[in-house]
């Protein structure tokens, strides 16, 4: 296994990680920002007001995005397994 191959696998792993988790993090950030704005405008400083809607929205987004996430992880795993088979030959 060459250094170039290791770097390429690491790059692919990081890209897949960002592709799978990035949208969920962006959704959580947008919801948190919106709730913080509402809290600032209404001067309601309740801590549970931040966590409960964010958890619900991220959970719903996870349910809708799960097929995409699984397909991206499958593509990465297939590429990784193909590389392992090529090394064994």
**Residue 17's pLDDT is what?**
96
Residue 79 tokens read as 């590429």
Owner of token pair 């699984």: 70
What pLDDT does residue 81 have? 94
pLDDT at 19: 95
Q: What is the pTM of this model?
A: 0.79
Residue 66: its pLDDT value, please?
A: 96
**Listed residue (31, 28, 33, 21) closest to 65, CA to CA:** 21
- The conformation of residue 47, written as its DSSP 8-state character, comes to S
The pLDDT value given to residue 25: 95
Per-residue pLDDT in tens (0 to 9) along the chain, 89 residues: 788 999 999 999 999 999 999 999 999 999 999 998 988 888 888 777 788 889 999 999 999 999 999 999 999 999 999 999 998 87
């Amino acid at each position: 296994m060459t250094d170039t191959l290791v770097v390429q696998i690491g790059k692919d792993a990081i890209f897949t990680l960002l592709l799978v988790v990035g949208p969920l993090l962006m959704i959580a950030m947008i919801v948190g920002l919106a709730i913080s704005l509402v809290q600032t405008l209404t001067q309601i400083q309740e801590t549970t007001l931040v966590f409960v809607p964010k958890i619900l929205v991220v959970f719903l987004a996870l349910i809708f995005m799960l097929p995409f996430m699984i397909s991206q992880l499958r593509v990465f795993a297939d590429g990784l397994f193909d590389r392992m088979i090529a090394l064994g030959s």
